[in-house]
Structure 1
Amino acid sequence: MSLVALVEYPAGADEAGQRYEDSVLTLLPRHGGRLERRLRTGDGHREVHLIRFDTRAGYEAFLVDPERIELRQALGDTAPNTRVLEVHEV
């Protein structure tokens, strides 16, 4: 399963958001996921991630990982806004 995550940091929260992403992305292998590409815009306000999971169940487990949830809750209103798209090769 291939995903593209479009990540946008709230105004003034670029550094906190980037630290959050640094931490959360390390959880991927725990669920059969891997980060293939991580791209950041020149202004540092947005990122694009290309992520693969071995199974949909792995992706779903990642979404409810207690450590991921705890990290996100700790950021409160400064948590990144993320849109995830399932994609495939054409």
Structure 2
Amino acid sequence: MTPVTFVLMARIPPESVEAFRAYEDAALPLLPEFNGCLERRLRNPDGTIEMHIVSFASETDFQNYRNDPRRMSQAGLLEKSSAKMELLRMADVSSIIGSD
């Protein structure tokens, strides 16, 4: 299995921050069931930009999380938030720093 890491950037309209947080409160606790880990969660002061660094043990674990019916049942909250989401697959380069 090859671990995978993602950065999620969410831009949330000010009037929708509550709906976005409700979705996250339902979805994020599911991560450990799918060998996922929320490594970092950052938010600007007014809550309109949020960034997550999330890792999974494998691509399969990530896909299983994405397809989980409990997470998908909360999609209405995410839609209601009108958040603009960007999901980026990232690679850990810390092990090669200084190896030049």
TM-score past 0.5 threshold? yes
CA-to-aligned-CA distance 1:34-70 (integer Å, 9 cap, x gap): 1000000122101000001001000001111101111
Listed as ranges, the gaps of 5+ residues in structure 2 are 94-100
Residue type of the alignment partner of 1:71: Q
In structure 2, C-alpha distance between the alignment counterparts of 1:72 and 1:79, rounded to whole Å: 11
CA RMSD of aligned residues (A): 1.5
> Post-superposition shift, 1:89?
1.9
Identity %: 32
Mapped contact 2:7–2:53 kept (Cα < 8 A): yes
The runs of at least 4 aligned residues of structure 1 exceeding 3 Å deviation read: 74-77
2:45 maps to 1:39: no
Which segment is superposed worse, 10-19 or 62-71? Answer: 10-19
Q: What's the TM-score, normalizing by structure 2?
A: 0.80
Q: How many residues end up aligned between the 2 structures?
A: 90
Q: What's the TM-score, normalizing by structure 1?
A: 0.88
In structure 2, C-alpha distance between the alignment counterparts of 1:58 and 1:75, rounded to whole Å: 21
Report the CA distance shift for 1:74/1:48 in structure 2 as closer, same or farther (over 3 A).
closer
